[in-house]
Amino acid sequence: MTRLVLVGPPGAGKGTQAEALSAKLSVPHISTGELFRAHVAQQTPLGKEAKRYLDSGELVPDTVTNEMVRERLTEPDAKAGFLLDGFPRNTKQAEVLESILAEQGTSLNAVIQLSVPEDVVVQRLMSRGRSDDTEEVIRRRQQVYLSDTAPLLNHYADVLITVDGVGEVDEVASRVLNALRARA
Determine the pLDDT at residue 109: 95
CATH class of 2-183: alpha beta
3-state helix/strand/coil string of the chain: CEEEEEECCCCCCHHHHHHHHHHHHCCCEEEHHHHHHHHHHCCCHHHHHHHHHHHCCCCCCHHHHHHHHHHHHCCHHHCCEEEEECCCCCHHHHHHHHHHHHHCCCCCCEEEEEECCHHHHHHHHHCCCCCCCCHHHHHHHHHHHHHHHCHHHHHCCCCEEEEECCCCHHHHHHHHHHHHHHHC
Domain ranges of the chain: 2-183
pLDDT over 90 (residue 134): no
pLDDT over 90 (residue 117): yes
The pTM score is 0.91
Over residues 96-108, the pLDDT tens digits come to: 999 999 999 999 9
Determine the pLDDT at residue 16: 93
Over residues 161-176, the pLDDT tens digits come to: 999 999 999 999 999 9
